[in-house]
Amino acid sequence: MAEDSLAEGVRTSLQRFSETLDTVEKSLKPVLELVQDEEEIEKMPAADKARAHIALSYAANSLFYLYLKTQGMDPSQHPVREELERVKQAFIKLSKATKADAEVKGDLASKSKLNMEAGARVIAANIDGNKGLKRSIKEAGKSNQKRKKSKKRKST
């Protein structure tokens, strides 16, 4: 009877080990495909490079964690556990930074829209002599402003 419970415990541990190893393999596959080609790495944006390095670090530490388990050691008491936590924090930090960067870029894009009416007034004020040209520039700015207002009404 004791042998049955021992065998069941071993089977359960092996099943968990196998599932964890499958997860690591799935996580590593796209990263390893990327890092095999150095030219592809050079083309990657900095955030993607950092993400790849973090993924590799996490994979290596996870594999070592699994190795410790196979040797009958308690990995929760080993420094690799702290390293895994540090790598997780690095990934969280990178995610926050890339999200904040995207938000800043979105804010800049929305703030950098040209106010056509104001632009037309500035141009018209600085054009000397040709009153017809001044008038047409002012009208173009006003008509563009009216189109924006009608688009806003349609979208709401």
Q: Are residues 49 and 83 in the same domain?
A: yes
Q: Are residues 8 and 71 in the same domain?
A: yes
CA 35/CA 39 separation, integer angstroms: 9
To the nearest whole percent, how much of the chain has pLDDT over 90?
Answer: 10
Q: Are residues 64 and 8 in the same domain?
A: yes
Which tokens in the block code for residue 129? 């002599």
Q: Are residues 66 and 124 in the same domain?
A: no
- The DSSP element (H or E) to which 146 belongs, if any, is helix 131-155
**Number of compact structural domains in the chain:** 2
Q: Are residues 82 and 105 in the same domain?
A: yes
Write down the pLDDT at residue 90.
Answer: 93
Q: Are residues 93 and 139 in the same domain?
A: no
The pLDDT tens digits of the residues spanning 19-78 come to: 888 887 887 777 677 666 677 777 888 888 888 888 888 888 888 888 888 888 898 889
CA 23/CA 91 separation, integer angstroms: 18
The pLDDT tens digits of the residues spanning 70-100 come to: 888 898 889 999 999 999 999 999 989 888 7
Q: Are residues 139 and 81 in the same domain?
A: no
Q: Are residues 144 and 68 in the same domain?
A: no
Q: Are residues 52 and 89 in the same domain?
A: yes
**What would the mean pLDDT of 100-111 be, rounded to a whole number?**
65
Q: Which of 71, 85, 60, 66 is nearest to 16 (CA)?
A: 66
Provide the domain limits for residue 131: 116-155
Q: What is the value of pTM for the model shown?
A: 0.51
